[in-house]
């Protein structure tokens, strides 16, 4: 491991700092829809792009700029666009980079709404998609077509934690003039930096680990070069996906403690995954920090940590997984992830219940799969809660 910059925690706090006329230590919330021009000439210069002053918050805002600069620095990108939600980041990327007749290759277990927006909206405009297990390089190469424009990855994937080789995939993509976008939500830039590994675009749901407190929705797109950033920003502005200044303030405040939160959550996750591995009620456990994780070498090469997400299954299958949801007490039964609170969900009976059993199986989502987002509570309390819940259903 070692992809994480030695100055990451300092960047989390100080990158993008604002220097306003009042000497504000914390970035203020510039809660304004529009900005005054000192002169008509200056107004014209700003619209022409000859002056860097602000015009209208849908276009740019000082509070949002501060967050964007911080996130670009953390991902070692050229530019960042903060948007209203993680899905706004996904759809902006699709809209900016794909045209009628184009084709994308994507992870088969990609976030449901990322796939849904492609299949239900973008497909109506003649954009095609193929979903494969992107952890197998041959699958990507076999799916590539002359009209392919984008490879869209989640690594680790949601919810089964399959890791794809970003460096290898990016090398193949660039040999064929394809772009690579990576949803890095599960890791955050604290653990993985896909642009350093060769990807062109990084997407985050800022709602999750980056903001970290389950109190704000947000997303971002970080680009490897200025041309991509400009292309994506233009699409975002036209579609009106702008983040609100108060959203940006909350995310920027949350990201400052990302390192502290991730270290604690990962420490908890490793202990919990080992506990689950030894429990009689548990059939299997998937966590990148376990020694038996099948892609251990790849994890060590491209990630500087193991994350705080665990997937596991129970011997009782679907019904046992469903029952466990009603037995936990401290751990909260809820979707989403990455907050200070530990959250648990059973995809087959909750987030993916609308899919057929066959569709879930094709996506690698077993009926017994339980997804646990580990928070920063005291480890012993989490272990006690899980042990009691598992004992009650076993």
Does residue 381 carry a catalytic annotation?
no
CB 163, CB 299: distance < 8 Å: yes
User: Interhelix angle for 379-393 vs 258-277, to 10°?
Assistant: 40
State the catalytic residue, choosing from 58, 69, 253, 332: 58
Does residue 111 carry a catalytic annotation?
yes
CB 97, CB 122: distance < 8 Å: no
Q: Tell me which DSSP letter residue 257 carries.
A: T
State the catalytic residue, choosing from 30, 54, 94, 111: 111
CA dist 156 and 208 (Å) reads 14
State the catalytic residue, choosing from 183, 244, 367, 385: 183
State the catalytic residue, choosing from 70, 108, 115, 208: 208
Residues 6 or more apart in contact with residue 284 via CB below 8 angstroms = 312, 313
CB 189, CB 207: distance < 8 Å: no
Does residue 208 carry a catalytic annotation?
yes
CA dist 209 and 155 (Å) reads 15
CA dist 333 and 106 (Å) reads 29
The three-state secondary structure class of 310 is strand
Using omega within 30 degrees of 0 as the cis cutoff, is the peptide bond preceding 156 cis? yes
**Which are the catalytic amino acids?**
58, 111, 183, 208
């Amino acid at each position: 491991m070692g992809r994480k910059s030695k100055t990451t925690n300092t960047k989390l706090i100080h990158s993008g700092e604002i220097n306003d006329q009042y000497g504000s230590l914390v970035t203020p919330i510039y809660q304004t829809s529009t900005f005054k021009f000192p002169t008509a000439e200056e107004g014209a210069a700003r619209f022409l792009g000859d002056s860097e002053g602000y015009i209208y918050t849908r276009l740019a805002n000082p509070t949002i700029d501060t967050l964007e600069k911080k996130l670009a620095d953390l991902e070692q990108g050229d530019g960042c666009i903060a948007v209203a939600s993680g899905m706004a980041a996904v759809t902006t990327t699709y809209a900016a980079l794909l045209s009628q007749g184009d084709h994308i290759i994507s992870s088969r277990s990609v976030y449901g709404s990322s796939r849904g927006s492609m299949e239900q909206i973008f497909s109506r405009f003649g954009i095609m998609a193929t979903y494969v297990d992107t952890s197998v390089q041959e699958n990507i190469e076999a799916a590539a077509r002359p009209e392919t424009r984008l490879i869209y990855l989640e690594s680790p994937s949601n919810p089964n934690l399959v890791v794809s080789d970003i460096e290898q995939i990016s090398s193949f993509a660039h040999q064929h003039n394809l772009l690579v976008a990576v949803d890095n939500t599960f890791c955050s830039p604290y653990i993985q930096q896909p642009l350093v590994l060769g990807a062109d675009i990084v997407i985050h749901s800022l709602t999750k680990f980056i903001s970290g407190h389950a109190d704000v929705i947000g997303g971002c797109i970080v680009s490897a070069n200025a041309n991509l950033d400009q292309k994506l920003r233009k699409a975002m502005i036209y579609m009106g996906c702008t983040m609100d200044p108060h959203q940006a303030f909350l995310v920027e405040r949350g990201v400052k403690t990302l390192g502290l939160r991730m270290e604690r959550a990962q420490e908890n996750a490793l202990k919990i995954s080992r506990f689950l591995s030894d429990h009689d009620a548990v059939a299997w456990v998937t966590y990148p920090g376990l020694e038996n994780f099948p892609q251990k070498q790849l994890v060590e090469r491209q990630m500087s940590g193991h994350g705080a997400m665990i997937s596991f299954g129970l011997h009782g299958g679907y019904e046992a997984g469903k029952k466990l949801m009603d037995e936990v007490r401290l751990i909260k039964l809820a979707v989403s992830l990455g907050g200070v609170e530990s959250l648990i969900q059973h995809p087959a009976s909750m987030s993916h219940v609308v899919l057929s059993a066959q569709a879930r199986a094709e996506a690698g989502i077993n009926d017994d799969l339980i997804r646990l987002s580990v928070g920063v509570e005291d480890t012993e309390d989490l272990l006690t809660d899980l042990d009691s819940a598992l004992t009650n259903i076993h």
